[in-house]
Amino acid sequence: MTEHRESLDSDRQAVAPGAYDDAWFRQVAESAGDVFFVIRTSPDIAVEYLSDAADILFGYPASAVLSDPQLFISRVDPRDWPELERVLGWAPGQEQFHELRWVHRDGRPITTLSWVRSVRRADGSIAIEGNARDISELRSAEQTRLLFEDRYRLMAESANIVLWTMALDGTITYVSPSVEQMRGFTPQEAMNQPLDEILTPESQQIVAAYYTDLYAALAEGRAPEPFRCEQEYLCKDGSTIWTEVEVLAYLGPDRQVMEILGITRDIADRKQVLDDLHASRDELDAANAALTEANARLEYLSVTDPLTGAWNRRHGERILSADLDEARRYGPSMSLLLLDIDRFKAINDTFGHQTGDRVLIEITQRLQSNLRTSDALARWGGEEFVIMARQCTLGDATALAEKLRDIIRETPFADGGNVTVSIGVAELKTDDDLSTWLSRADRALYSAKNAGRDAVRGLA
């Protein structure tokens, strides 16, 4: 160590003969983390002393800077050249702390805090003496803090965000100024409001439920979960405003809850858009339902007889054709009944067409009430009806026809008196098509008519 110091002393004296040869001063300067320096400013500028910490601070060894003073000046950030010139021009007796920005050899920005004084020496020269301490991390931390403070202030003063804190007993301890734009109350007014003057009853229940969960978590030693919900706030003008609230329990070093932190966002516009969207969706659903109902109604009208409600002839033919094809594949017995109202023209002529219509309607009702669910009834023409009797032989179909004939004959009609019908029955044959099947039923009906009406006839 002694040999190193002696060598160091020799180097310094070689650069600046007779200047600053105090061994104690140099020992302190070289062992410190700060950069100690002595710069002669008059009659000319020269770096007379620079401690070894310069290598760490600037990236150049002290010996290099001592041999080239311009290297020292070139490390100063160009933005601070005016400040450096001002200090180098000090008159003897001036001293102060000041900051200076530098650029490390590797390009990193460096900020130093220095104590500097200007002195006149015995030989009449003027020198600047001082030290420089690296405070880059400190300044970086301060800038980060200021940045977060600016962000916090921006959030706190934003018109659609309110920051607030609350004690565990429910006391509001802070409300940001933006509450006045959101609700119309000053921060002081908002802090002094009880819960029933802040939230609607429904939203108060949400808060109560949160505190119940919070206390349960604390009692069980669990960390409270972050909480988010929508709440409806009361405004000073009597209106309400919808908000989204985020709540976080702030824990201290001992994991105890210190206070409740909250952010309240104005979502009135978003809520209105959603309400409008839901209303539009409801209207669309209603329109679709109405359209579906209308289509179903149109479909019903397209396949039914508008007067009696029975299937119309076109749909009846579709049903008969489909059943005929199925019978050909699987072979179940099937019969067709062709029914005609006897002397229906006389009913119209005697009682009027409205009475005739009522007779048609009531006959349809009597037939439908006495048919099986598997049977099908269609109005075939003016006073003619076709009945499809599935899985029914000629004998069973003839018995059904007699039953239907009796039901119509035995109960007089309110306006038309006694009415009778004639029915022709035909069982499906393997070689039948729809035309031949209907033709045989028609021949059976003609036979019943020739038998004096009010009769049933069947053809195998």
Are the C-beta atoms of residues 68 and 54 closer than 8 Å to each other? no
Measure the CA–CA gap between 415 and 147, rounded to whole angstroms. Answer: 96
Instruction: Of 43-57, 131-145, 434-448, give the lowest mean pLDDT range.
Output: 131-145
pLDDT value at residue 140: 77
* Catalytic residue chosen out of the listed positions 220, 383, 402, 410: 383
Mean pLDDT of 124-137: 88
Q: How far apart are CA 47 and CA 28, in angstroms?
A: 19
pLDDT digits (tens, 9 = 90+) for 382-416: 999 999 998 899 999 999 999 999 999 999 998 88
Query: Per DSSP, which regions of 281-383 are E strands?
Result: 334-341, 376-381
Distance CA 213, CA 231 (A): 17
Q: What whole-number distance in Å separates Cα of residue 263 and Cα of residue 95?
A: 50
Give the angle subtended at the CA of 307 by the CAs of 303 and 313, to the nearest 5°. Answer: 40
Please provide residue 348's backbone torsions phi and psi, each rounded to the nearest 5 degrees: -65, -45
* 383 classed as catalytic: yes
* Rg of the chain in Å (alpha carbons): 53
pTM of the entire predicted model: 0.44
87 Rama class: left (phi>0) / alpha (psi -120 to 50) / beta: alpha
Q: Is-contact 384 340, C-beta < 8 A?
A: yes
pLDDT in tens, 13-40: 333 434 444 554 555 445 456 888 898 9
CB of 383 closer than 8 Å to CB of 367: no
Q: Quick one: which of 415, 380, 375 has its CA closest to 396?
A: 375
CB–CB of 110/102 below 8 Å? yes
Strongest mean pLDDT among 101-110, 269-278, 322-331, 355-364: 355-364
Task: Output the average pLDDT for the chain.
Answer: 84
Q: Which two tokens stand for residue 98?
A: 């000041």
How far apart CA 414 and CA 391 sit, in angstroms, is 35
- Name the H helices within 16-132: 23-31, 54-58, 62-67, 69-74, 81-88
- Best-predicted range by mean pLDDT (120-134, 159-173, 271-285): 120-134
pLDDT tens digit sequence for 329-348: 777 789 999 999 999 999 99
**Average pLDDT of the segment spanning 68-88:** 84
Confidence band (pLDDT; 50, 70, 90) for 99?
confident
Give every CB contact of residue 212 below 8 A, 6+ residues apart in sequence.
Answer: none
